[in-house]
Structure 1
Amino acid sequence: MIERNSGQAIWRQIATDISDAIRSGHYAPGSKLPTEAELSQLYGVNRHTLRRAVSELAEDGVIRVEQGRGSFVQEHVLDYLVAKKTRFSDNVLSQKRTPGGRTLLLQEEEGDPAILKQLGLTRSSKLTRLDRVGEVDGRPISVGSHYFPSVRVPGFADLHRELDSITKVLTRLGHGEYTRKVTRVTARMPDAADADLLQQPRSRPVLVVESINVTPDGKPIEYGIARYAADRFQLVFES
């Protein structure tokens, strides 16, 4: 495992050994590595030496270190196709990965003027809002807010509780052929709430994706704004 008289630095040997263990599948993508104390004991070194190895692995993108949580094997980046029909679950399943998620908020509310404008609605219109964490292989990848014209999605809340899918709900309501009209992408640092939900440090940026989906008659049916963990996600635009 570690040869102290090999002429190669001990920390580099440790980094190589951990990297080999990851490649062999001993540590799966997204899994948490043993603690510093456990690894120090395993390799028979002090924590300073162990931290040098961990730092090297993090710099190489093999692992990620999250303050207060530990070190994790870096996941494969998800290629997220943005096309005429953009569907979260289909994108994830196409890469033989498992989609999931959980609802944070589901309610009808007074419309924010800026969002109402995006949806082509009057100032007195009500919106149905869904806030949700999107997951891939059980790990959060996005935090999104989705807004629908309440008048066009009657019973949305009850249907979503039953079906747990935006696409399935819109299909049930006769809007299943909705398509993507607008996608805007920016980047910024996450706020504390998003960083916590995405299980990432606040020092790591997120991709902010703003979108508008429309029904075949050209009427906006959904305005969304989602924050994606930038190190686990990349947008691919279909030309």
Structure 2
Amino acid sequence: MNAVLQRGQGLIAWRQIADALEAEIATGALRPGAKLATEAQLATRFAVNRHTVRRALAALTERGLVRSAQGSGTFVEAAPLRYPIGPRTRFSEIATAAGREAWGRLLEAHTVLAEPWVAEALELAPGTPVLALHSRHEADGVPISAGVTYLPLPRFAGFDRLYAETGSLTRAYAAHGVTDYLRRSTQISARIAEPAEAAQLALAPGRAVLVIESVNTDAEGAVIQATRSCFAADRVTLSV
């Protein structure tokens, strides 16, 4: 439906558009995950140019109400995913329990020399070769976290191929004989997303991320994983 903006009353057009769309999100007319009309359609609806619409959408993105997916459109942000951290923390199980489809996407993998914090976490000598997996976790196609997981070698040689095929750390571990693994420690901090992180998580510049450093062991207590991940702060609610 076309909408009439108030003209000549000191109300900026883009702000009126942003307020109108925010009201539709608040009332449920636009539900979480819903795709917004295109810029051209919104420009026709509000009888403005596309630049004005783009400014309104940018304001909503900055406030975490919508997200833009390149080539797909603009979507209403889903409700935050409740993310419990305990002895057994599994992204796929957490997302599935919330009724969302989980997927771990391997972005790149290579062998690196363990820097001091990685070496300490994995109980290795600094400079020991380890496997580094750069990945992103998604729920219903929405990026939730991105980071790097370090695994000791040679125990987990070939782990990257299995992870790429299955999209699941748990299944990749099982193929390496690790049927269960436990969280030894978790450290949480917060900061503004760096440009590369914002791009990976489809965040507007200036949005916050939660930085989680974790260490996992196998059932016998041997350290098998050290991870540093950035979570989109307004897409999760951590429960520790």
**TM-score, normalising length from structure 1?**
0.79
Q: Does 1:141 align with 2:161?
A: no
Q: What is the aligned counterpart of 2:97 among 76, 79, 94?
A: 94
Check whether the contact 1:103–1:132 (CA below 8 A) recurs between aligned residues.
yes
- Residues 48/159 of structure 1: CA separation in 2 closer, same or farther (3 Å cut): closer
SS in 1 for 2:154: helix
Q: Does 1:208 align with 2:237?
A: no
Cα offset for 1:173? 1.5
Cα offset for 1:111? 1.6
Give a deviation string over 1:144-169, Cα, whole Å, max 9, x none: 10001113324323433443321111
Give a deviation string over 1:53-103, Cα, whole Å, max 9, x none: 76996798644689xx98542221111111110001000000001112321
- Mapped partners of 2:112, 2:4: distance in 1: 65
Q: Does 1:103 align with 2:102?
A: no
- Which residue of 2 is the match for residue 34 of structure 1? 38
- Mapped partners of 2:206, 2:105: distance in 1: 25
Q: What is the aligned counterpart of 2:195 among 172, 175, 192?
A: 192
Check whether the contact 2:18–2:59 (CA below 8 A) recurs between aligned residues.
no
- Residues 59/192 of structure 1: CA separation in 2 closer, same or farther (3 Å cut): closer
Moved more, 218-227 or 146-155: 146-155
- Unaligned runs of at least 5 residues, structure 2: none
- Which residue of 1 is the match for residue 162 of structure 2? 159
SS in 2 for 1:157: helix
- Residues 53/170 of structure 1: CA separation in 2 closer, same or farther (3 Å cut): closer
- Unaligned runs of at least 5 residues, structure 1: none
- Which residue of 2 is the match for residue 132 of structure 1? 135
Cα offset for 1:201? 1.9
- Residues 40/27 of structure 1: CA separation in 2 closer, same or farther (3 Å cut): farther
SS in 2 for 1:151: coil
Cα offset for 1:19? 3.3
Matches within 5 A, 1:163-182: 163-182=166-185
Tell me how large the CA RMSD over aligned residues is: 3.5
Q: What is the aligned counterpart of 1:81 among 59, 81, 84?
A: 84
- Mapped partners of 2:168, 2:17: distance in 1: 47
Matched residue type, 1:78: L
Check whether the contact 1:181–1:211 (CA below 8 A) recurs between aligned residues.
yes
Moved more, 99-108 or 219-228: 99-108
Cα offset for 1:33? 4.1
Check whether the contact 1:15–1:54 (CA below 8 A) recurs between aligned residues.
no
Check whether the contact 1:19–1:62 (CA below 8 A) recurs between aligned residues.
no
**TM-score, normalising length from structure 2?**
0.79
Q: How many residues align?
A: 232
Check whether the contact 1:19–1:57 (CA below 8 A) recurs between aligned residues.
no
Moved more, 150-159 or 111-120: 150-159
Give a deviation string over 1:196-228, Cα, whole Å, max 9, x none: 111112211111111000112222110000011
Identity %: 31
